[in-house]
Every structure is written in C-alpha cells, then in structure tokens.
Amino acid sequence: MQQRKKIAIIVAGGSGTRMGAAVPKQFLELAGKPVLYHTIAAFINAYADMQVVLVVPETHFAPAQQVLNSFPAPPPVTLVKGGETRFHSVQNGLQQVPDNAVVFVHDGVRPLLTAALVRHCYEQTLLHGNAIPVIDMKDSVRETNAAGNKAVNREQFKIIQTPQTFLSEQLLPAFALPYDPLFTDEATVVEKLGHPIHLVPGEDRNIKITRPLDLVIAEALLRQ
C-alpha cells in the first residue's frame, strides 16, 4: 500500500476552565513532565517520519517552546496559534497540512495514547479514508428531555476519542465549512460532507484530562 506523509495536529489551544488551575492544563505536570510532553512523545515515537503541528494559545508560545526544548533531541514540531474554539484551532493547524497526507487530530490533553493506537489509526485510514477511535460505555444511559427521562440501549452508543485520523482530501475541504457549535470533533465535520465514518477500537487509558481527578487517574495509569 502506498505510504503517505503523516501530520499530527495536536490541539492545545484551550484555557482549561474546568480544571481551574493557574495555567492551562496541557502545561500541568504529569509524572514529572508537562502533559503536552507525553502527548507529543507518543506521536513521534509512533513513526520516524511523523511531523507535528502543535496548536497553543498565542499567549503560551514561550512555555510551549520550553516543552519542546526539554526533549533529548529537537522534535519535528511547528508551533501554531490557537483559535476561539477547538474547531478554529484545528482550522489553524490545517494550514500547515500538505496534499496527500494522513492527518491525525489529537487533543493535547490526552497524553496516554499508545504508539500502537496511532499506527492502527494510520493503517485503517489508508484502507477506509478515516479512523475514529471509540470505546464502549460502562454506565447505564438515560436520555433527558422536557417531559422527563427514559432509558436507552447503551449498546447503540460509543464514547469518542482522538486521534481522529483522515486522508487530507477528506479533512481539508470539510474544514472550509462554516463553524457550527455542534462540531465538537472532526468526525462530525467530515460526516457533514457525506463521508462515512469508520470506527476503530480506542483505548481505556486514552482519557481526556478535563478535571482535577483526571490528572490523578492519569498519573496512576502512567506509573502502572
């Protein structure tokens, strides 16, 4: 199968409101290194020819550069400024993407993904055009509405993770669409252009660090 350029857009342009820390959560320490260090390392360890586009708030270029300087060798990373929402941060990152690439879009605050997941997403994208990692729901689920609530069959639902991975010819035109607040991930945007979305198994450990408890869980998982 023909190989393609590999570009990881790591979105870390948020402010971490729900974490409530003094600095955005992507710069907090996790097992002795910033969260972002672990995330970048997972991608560059997956493929020798991986190129990373790191999207950070314009106000945080200096701490982002410090993270990059802490690698044993300079990593292949381009810094790009974040946007108003996650969608706009992805749009900014996409400006660095060449044609004929496989593009991974990953939350900077999911530092525990494995290189195996990155490689599986790449291979599945070559076969299916995209690959979206998902895990099963563990809890019971109810739908709420104005009238009250009702149980739903959880087998019909999946929890969506990143890296959401696409051929560049699917992702680039999709992000020319006007912003819609329902675009909470890339699959939703690409689906809007009519592309079927190919789900692949995600990883339980690939949590999104959102609140203080998530950092405690991530630390425990890293020390396993």
Ligand X SMILES: C[C@](O)(CO)[C@H](O)COP(=O)(O)O
Using CB under 6 A, pick the residue from 11, 77, 197, 200 that binds ligand CTP. 11
Contact call for residues 49 and 8 (beta carbons, < 8 A):
no
- Measure the CA–CA gap between 210 and 45, rounded to whole angstroms: 25
- Measure the CA–CA gap between 168 and 40, rounded to whole angstroms: 20
Beta bridge mates, 55? 11, 80
Site size for ligand CTP (CB under 6 A): 22
Contact call for residues 165 and 124 (beta carbons, < 8 A):
yes
What letter does residue 155 receive in the DSSP assignment?
G
Interacting residues with ligand X between 168 and 197 (CB under 6 A): 184-185
Q: Of these partners, ligand X, ligand CTP, none, which one is at the site of residue 83 (CB under 5 to 8 Å by kind)?
A: ligand CTP
Q: Of these partners, ligand CTP, ligand X, none, which one is at the site of residue 109 (CB under 5 to 8 Å by kind)?
A: ligand CTP
* Residue ranges of E strands in 39-129: 50-56, 77-81, 101-107
The smaller minimum CB distance to ligand X, of residues 161 and 165, is found at: 161
Residue 175 neighbours by CB under 8 Å, 6+ apart: 87, 90, 91, 94, 189
Angle subtended at Cα 171 by Cα 161 and Cα 26, rounded to the nearest 5 degrees: 45
Q: Of these partners, ligand X, ligand CTP, none, which one is at the site of residue 34 (CB under 5 to 8 Å by kind)?
A: none
Q: Of these partners, ligand X, ligand CTP, none, which one is at the site of residue 97 (CB under 5 to 8 Å by kind)?
A: none
End-to-end CA distance of the chain: 36
The reply to whether 64 sits near ligand X by the rule CB under 6 A is no
The reply to whether 154 sits near ligand X by the rule CB under 6 A is no
Q: Of these partners, ligand CTP, ligand X, none, which one is at the site of residue 93 (CB under 5 to 8 Å by kind)?
A: none
Which residue is listed with tokens 């290194």? 33
- Measure the CA–CA gap between 108 and 37, rounded to whole angstroms: 9
Interacting residues with ligand X between 91 and 120 (CB under 6 A): 107
Q: Which two tokens stand for residue 26?
A: 């992507």
The reply to whether 13 sits near ligand CTP by the rule CB under 6 A is yes
Q: Of these partners, ligand X, ligand CTP, none, which one is at the site of residue 189 (CB under 5 to 8 Å by kind)?
A: none
Binding mask 65-104 for ligand CTP (x = CB under 6 A): -----------------xxxxx--x---------------
Which residues would be at the binding site for ligand X (CB under 6 A)? 86, 107, 160-162, 184-185, 208
Which residues would be at the binding site for ligand CTP (CB under 6 A)? 11-18, 24, 26, 55, 82-86, 89, 107-109, 208, 210
